[in-house]
Amino acid sequence: MNGSLAANAVLLTGIRSGLGEAGCDVAVCVPAPYLAQCRDALGGSPVRWGGQDLSLHEAGAYTGEVSAAMLLDFGSRYVIVGHSERRTYHAETDAIVAAKATRALSAGLLPIVCVGETLQQREQGETAATVARQLGAVLAALSAEQAARIVVAYEPVWAIGTGKTATPDMAQEVHALLRAQLKEKGAAVADGVPILYGGSMKPDNAVELLAMPDIDGGLIGGAALKASDFLSIIRAC
């Protein structure tokens, strides 16, 4: 829940003007009120855009909700589902996340499906079981063809804004588990689904993280609010 029209204008102009030949997929996922600004600022550029959440419902009496069709109306390509903050603060269950991913795909959006463990779960040795449960709920709701069109993002919740850090090897270990789980859905799924790292990727650690074999990109938090930092990470990709 960041941004303003003025701050966004500076950020989006900076990203677009500094991007050059990206050589990788780049997108920004923004609060719904700013989708029109993204469309106007980024249209015709290599940068895509999308929402931070979507409704379970197609339309109707759901005050305050944002539907997939509304996101598409503004040219959105992506939508984040199951972000750790949605799971924590809005009590989103694995079943809700799976239903949102299905809704997004049915509408033609690409869902960025977030999974990750808390500090308590990590300290209790529950990392593998937690991420497997979270991703498994989504994969169980999808056909192999649908599953091949998602993006997965691993968020070690314990490493976000806590001062604790996950080493590249620690991140790779979980990404490898996720890749193996995707492979159970089919080789095309495992090979085609990007797995992003969402544990405070920054310019000073991006190169090392992205060197890992199963880390395909980043779900960038605070570093994406400054064009120069975001561009540095894009160059690392």
Say which residues have a Cβ less than 8 Å from residue 44's Cβ, sequence separation at least 6: none
Say which CATH topology domain 5-236 has.
TIM Barrel (3.20.20)
As a whole number of angstroms, the distance between CA 9 and CA 12 comes to: 5
pLDDT mean over 44-56: 97
Q: How far apart are CA 75 and CA 51, in angstroms?
A: 10
83 is a catalytic site residue: yes
- Partner residues linked to 211 by β-bridges: none
State how far Cα 227 lies from the chain centre. Answer: 18
- Which is catalytic among the residues 145, 155, 184, 208? 155
Banded pLDDT at 159 (limits 50, 70, 90): confident
Name the catalytic one among 83, 92, 117, 175.
Answer: 83
Whether 65 is a known active-site residue: answer no
- Mean pLDDT of the 17-22 span: 88
pLDDT band at 163 (very low <50, low <70, confident <90, very high): low
pTM score over 0.85: yes
- Give every CB contact of residue 99 below 8 A, 6+ residues apart in sequence: 56, 141
